[in-house]
Structure 1
Amino acid sequence: MPTIAHRHIDVDGFNVFYREAGPADAPKLLLLHGFPSSSHMFRDLIPLLADRFHIVAPDLPGFGLSDMPSRDSFAYTFDNIAGLIDRFTERVGFDRYAVYVFDYGAPTGFRLALKHPERIAAIVSQNGNAYEEGLSDGWSPIRAYWQPPTQTNRDALRDAHEGHDEVAIHARHARRVGGFARWLLARRLLPEPSRRARSRSAGSRRQGKNRQKAR
């Protein structure tokens, strides 16, 4: 079984976590995960390829164990994410590589290819759209979360979340998957006092369950 190293690297002050495996002199392969996941999704794939490729799989900004700066200091756009991953590839010595893209990894990886086509040996795309029109109608409720976080948009999202329409259904699903999705929904949907109140309410419920168990 090939050894998978878990590493961190500083990219212009941003801490990026990544998994690395395979011979340093083998053809290079960059794995870019999707939403709401991390490089953990490649834990079974990496050992299957590590005998033939030098593999690097980073956690994208805001995902996994990479830094998650506030939106005041980092704009979570694909342009910014791709720019940071571009610098990451330079820091780890990936001057020419194949890239595997999945879901959110696609608009990230495609931007790398457009910026540095001479560096890209191959592209493998799984569930990756190259254009917004490629998204099905099922994404329509989620598009609301992509809008700028103005007070008007926050109010609209909160109203939808409190109702029973399709946006609320997607919101409940995203909370179940947890992690980045839960953080994103909380930041998008709830003002700070509401987040604190919801946290206190959850804590009270847990205490109540613990008291029942103690009895």
Structure 2
Amino acid sequence: GYNYTILKMFADSLGYSLEVTVENNLESCMTLLKKGDFDILLNLFPVTLESKSVTSFSTPLLSSHLALVQLKSRYINDKTCYISDLYQLNGKKIYVEKGSFNTLVLKNLRSELGIDYEILEIDDANLEMLCGMIIQDEINYVAIDKFAEKSIISDFPLLDATIESGIEQPFAWPVNDKTFKEKLDSFIIANSNSEWFIRLNKEYLQ
């Protein structure tokens, strides 16, 4: 995938070998990162003031913004529930994956817009499950980052993700060791405009 390809190029440039551990619980990942069991979390997270108080980040690899997932049919059948403008989220409930850093982005967006909405997480529900809950009419709105939009719309054609926050958010990898971070940052900066990096962005993100 996108993250692994870049990190593998970085590791190869230094003669490092990669040891990858699969861990789906974000809280456990952050704990292990702080303890030094992990050097890096191989997932792009939004860099906000709040997230930077929790961990250090690499140089951002790219920027994106949130998209709102909702039922496409509501545009025709229930316009009181269909969100066509972000200010209509005032008083609504928005769901995110448990432990998702998108919660922090939603908090920032709420402050930027000057409105109030409830941000909710459901235990043990991943993004695909949340989208399924929209289709089953159990919930109305899920917030995703733009990186997930392509796969979600492909897998769930009944859903709409055209409403976007418009506020660009930098995304980076959480890292632990300072020396490791400095080497990684230098690699990202040196290669961000390279042909292979641009090609990778087009392949995975466009």
TM range (shorter): under 0.3
Q: Higher helix proportion, which one?
A: 1
TM-score (norm 2): 0.28
Q: Which has the larger radius of gyration?
A: 1
TM-score (norm 1): 0.27
Q: 1 or 2 for the larger relative contact order (CA 8 Å, sep ≥6)?
A: 2
